[in-house]
Structure 1
Amino acid sequence: MEPERIVETNAAGEERVGPVNAALTPRWAGPATFARLPRTDQVEHTDVAVVGVPFDSGVSYRPGARFGPNHVRESSRLLRPYNPAQNHSPFANLQVADAGDLVGNPFDIREAIESIEAGAKELMGEDTKIVAIGGDHTIALPLLRAAHSRHGKVALLHFDAHLDTWDTYFGAEYTHGTPFRRAFEEGIIDTDAVMHVGTRGPLYGTQDLEDDSRFGFEIVSSADVLRSGVDAVVEALRERVGDRPLYISLDIDVLDPAHAPGTGTPEAGGITSREVLEILRGLRGLDVVACDVVEVAPAYDHAELTGIAAAHVVYELLSLISLGADAAPDGPAYGISGARYGDAK
């Protein structure tokens, strides 16, 4: 039996089918789609598709991110339709739906990349934007290719403990540590508008940083977030991106292992879940065209900390897309202090 859903009418008078009504069907029951949203085959048109990419054959350390999409879906059951931090109801404004999974050959990385790219292009075919849940970071390359095919060169904000601009692992060009070097080589990212956020940890040598700079990347380290604060980081990101079409790629290991233990390559000294959510909220009004959230490995995720953090990240990304590029950059007043999130008082 199909549970009753929330149906709302947006400012243009269009009906949007939203999540299962939690007042009628308890949150632990009903379909395990992201935020209990409808599937794409249950709506006439999808403005934004949440899609899983359960592929992790590109990992260099701990496997398990192939189980990430469904873990994040299960962790999203407590999400609600209204986002008070943005004073916005993303599921009422645009039609958001769960598109299931894009699958790739787990024994052939090149073939898997081609399959994921083709699937993403098909999803984007009717002006649909996508938020992908991985899977390992290898999937960012085919998703970037798909975004490039529709929008041309895209700006890139890459949230990650690691650079992911290395050349090869064991002679392999396509791994979770190489997608953004390949994206640079293929000319699909705008090298005047690319930035890493939350980077930290040891490297193989100074050549790593030299190569990364040559590809156009600037770095906001986790220490920069600590010392400069969220507002300064947001200002730097907004200035770097400008009005370009923007791809956001977020490896959950950008968070400290205290906040996201369920990932394949954890690094100490990361940012908090509060900081990453505030940074994302600060990107309000940018032209976000596609996103991914990757490297959630549930086997290491005690107390569901990583899945919950990832689900909230996806929710904020959906809110950014729903708000659109015309949204005022300042968020709403919220809370007893009268300050928006991120304001120091």
Structure 2
Amino acid sequence: MFASVPGPIGPIDSSVVPRFAGIATFARLPRLDEAGRADIAVVGIPFDSGVSYRPGARFAPAAIREASRLLRPYHPVLDVSPFAAVQVVDAGDIAVNPFNIDEAIETVRTEAGLLMNTGAQVVTVGGDHTLALPLLRAVADRHGPVALLHFDAHLDTWDTYFGQPYTHGTPFRRAVEEGLLDTEALSHVGTRGPLYGKADLDEDGRLGFGIITSADVMRRGVDETVDALRQRIGDRPLYVSIDIDVLDPAHAPGTGTPEAGGMTSRELLEILRGLRGLNLVGGDVVEVAPAYDHADITSVAAAHVAYDLISLLALRAASA
């Protein structure tokens, strides 16, 4: 079912096996054990024990894989065939303890780190945003402090929830405190909605974050937004973390903490494509909650976002 030609093993041929048939892997890619190696690995983490409102993101990896069946192998905007340029695989799920957040965080760091140590770059589909912290720990183990581009309706730099330091609302405060991030190159994109107080913004600024709100994207447009982000990031190693609630609920109803007034899926994808040529070293797409989705709108958006991250990584690897 996989093409027996030299070079990377690509997706199942959809002219032979219909897209709706067979066991779902991301974009119908080979599993890691089938390919034997990976330049880019898509990894699921079915975990949502860090959420503060709607649960259900533990079911996202499976839903995103199903929604990715229609992805095709050529990206016309970036002019790259990512699955032919490098070996991309579905590395399955990292199984974590749903009852112990501390243990889950350590498992994610260890397992993601083992994949990265093989030379693979990792694109994660979660799961809730708590996972960004152990993923950043693994990335920093390999690259040192990295630039962060964080797409989200929320800041996720709060200190604790109910006295707990590790939740989906705290990962980037912890990441700054642990020295995982280059504080000269931190940006939130798409933030909006009410906060607990002005101090939230003041504390976020002290951590080093710049903010481009969803209203800023609407008024300034994609091109100006991309220019500002590229100037802030420079040539630093870059990690991109995408909470699907950065999109308006019209484009992503299936998420745990929806906020009105968000970005469109078109804006998000075009901003990502504007990162072409930057030193991207990994990324995640989190907070898809399939139980609240309609017609797979949110899962389809997440699958396309992950595909664009893969394409950016493949494009850079192929040109290196």
Give the TM interval when normalised to the shorter protein: over 0.9
Q: Name which of 198, 202, 210 aligns with 2:194.
A: 202
Q: Name which of 278, 281, 288 aligns with 1:286.
A: 278
Matched, 1:310 2:302: yes
Q: Name which of 234, 246, 257 aligns with 1:242.
A: 234
CA–CA separation in structure 1 for the residues paired with 2:128 and 2:111: 17
CA–CA separation in structure 1 for the residues paired with 2:158 and 2:299: 27
Deviations 1:246-277 (A, max 9, x none): 00000000000000000000000000000000
Aligned-pair distance for 1:104?
Answer: 1.4
Segments of 5+ residues of structure 1 without an aligned counterpart are 10-14, 329-345
Matched, 1:231 2:223: yes
Matched, 1:5 2:2: yes
- Give the letter for the 1:265 counterpart: T
Equivalent runs, 1:1-345 vs 2, <5 Å: 4-6=1-3, 15-324=7-316
- Give the letter for the 1:215 counterpart: L
SS in 1 for 2:80: coil
CA–CA separation in structure 2 for the residues paired with 1:95 and 1:243: 25
Return closer, same or farther for 1:188/1:294 CA change in 2, 3 Å cut-off: same
CA–CA separation in structure 2 for the residues paired with 1:56 and 1:170: 17
CA–CA separation in structure 2 for the residues paired with 1:69 and 1:30: 17
Contact 1:285–1:325 (CA under 8 A) maintained in structure 2: no
- Give the letter for the 2:2 counterpart: R
Contact 2:85–2:318 (CA under 8 A) maintained in structure 1: no
Q: Structure 1 length as normaliser, TM-score?
A: 0.91
Seq. identity, % = 67
CA–CA separation in structure 2 for the residues paired with 1:231 and 1:8: 40
Segments of 5+ residues of structure 2 without an aligned counterpart are none
Hey, which bits of structure 1, 4+ residues long, moved more than 3 A?
A: 6-9, 325-328
Cα RMSD of the aligned pairs, angstroms, is 1.2
Contact 2:86–2:317 (CA under 8 A) maintained in structure 1: no
SS in 2 for 1:87: coil
Q: Structure 2 length as normaliser, TM-score?
A: 0.98
Contact 1:285–1:326 (CA under 8 A) maintained in structure 2: no
Contact 2:8–2:86 (CA under 8 A) maintained in structure 1: yes
CA–CA separation in structure 2 for the residues paired with 1:287 and 1:7: 32
- Give the letter for the 1:64 counterpart: G
Return closer, same or farther for 1:235/1:193 CA change in 2, 3 Å cut-off: same
- Give the letter for the 1:295 counterpart: E
Deviations 1:282-336 (A, max 9, x none): 00001111100000000000110000000000000000000117869xxxxxxxx
How many aligned residue pairs are there?
A: 320
CA–CA separation in structure 1 for the residues paired with 2:95 and 2:189: 28
Aligned-pair distance for 1:6?
Answer: 4.1
Aligned-pair distance for 1:7?
Answer: 5.7
Return closer, same or farther for 1:312/1:327 CA change in 2, 3 Å cut-off: same
Structure 1, 119-128 or 135-144: larger mean CA deviation: 119-128
- Give the letter for the 2:310 counterpart: L
Aligned-pair distance for 1:31?
Answer: 2.3
SS in 2 for 1:231: helix
More helix by share: 2
